[in-house]
Amino acid sequence: MSDRLSKIVEALRVQGLLLRGGFLLDPETDQALLGRFPDARQLLLVGNAGSAIWPHLKRFLTANPAVPDPLDHWTSRVLGEIAGRFDAMALFPFGGAPWWPFQQWARRADTVSPSPLAILIHPTYGLWHAYRGVLLLRSAVALPPPPPPTTSPCDSCSDKPCLHSCPVAAFSPAGYDVEGCARHVNSTAGLECQTRGCLARLACPVGQQYRYESEHAVFHMAAFQRSHPTRAG
């Protein structure tokens, strides 16, 4: 690992973040991105796994209790500062158009596959991971060789407990019933989801050691409730 890449990885690590892979930009595949950032040469995908991020985010929440969308604000601050240190540009999966294709980038940079819950599943982290942003580098760094391709853990999961654990069957081959999920989570019947997290996600056997800590899970469920308000039942 080059000295520059090692420093980027360490800057991410101290904030509970991970380098989730990267790739050189292709003039054809990445035409829209290069149209906006013609000096960019390489994309580094940044994310988190488990609750390593939570102590850092919690300190931010304590110091900034009134900030809306605190995870987005914290991510912007942290990755913006890191981008400035390494002559990079930071992009995020939030903040308005253009909506960058993070899931497509993840399929190119990381070892992930689609899951029945519409979350990309990782062979180690399971469903307990996320992508927070990217760093666009003007001069490329040498990345470690990507891991060999693997089959999706979902392919060998015959029971599919994730599909049978949602109290309102919000996940099906037809897709994710967001409105049905929100009605339940915002109701008195949804107390377990509010306090434990998504029951379907919890049922997945992959990456159980990376399950979010209770406080971390409650934070995300509360954010879901704020973004999908319904009349409580």
DSSP per position, 9-57: HHHHHTTT-EEEEEEE--TTTTHHHHHH-TT--EEEEEEEETTTTHHHH
pLDDT value at position 171?
93
Say which residue the tokens 């829209």 belong to: 32
Give the angle subtended at the CA of 48 by the CAs of 44 and 50, to the nearest 5°. 155
Q: Which CATH code for domain 3-137?
A: 3.40.109
Q: Is residue 233 predicted with pLDDT exceeding 50? A: no
pLDDT single digits (tens) 141-163: 999 887 787 889 999 999 999 99
Report the chain's mean pLDDT, rounded to a whole number. 94
Q: Locate the domains of the chain by residue range.
A: 3-137, 157-227
The DSSP bridge partners found for residue 113 are: 121
The model carries a pTM of 0.93
Q: Is residue 193 predicted with pLDDT exceeding 50? A: yes
Distant-in-sequence, close-in-space partners of 23: CB < 8 Å, separation ≥ 6:
42, 43, 108, 109
Neighbouring C-alpha atoms within 13 Å toward the C-beta of 172: 9
pLDDT single digits (tens) 57-110: 999 999 999 999 999 999 999 999 999 999 999 999 999 989 999 999 999 999
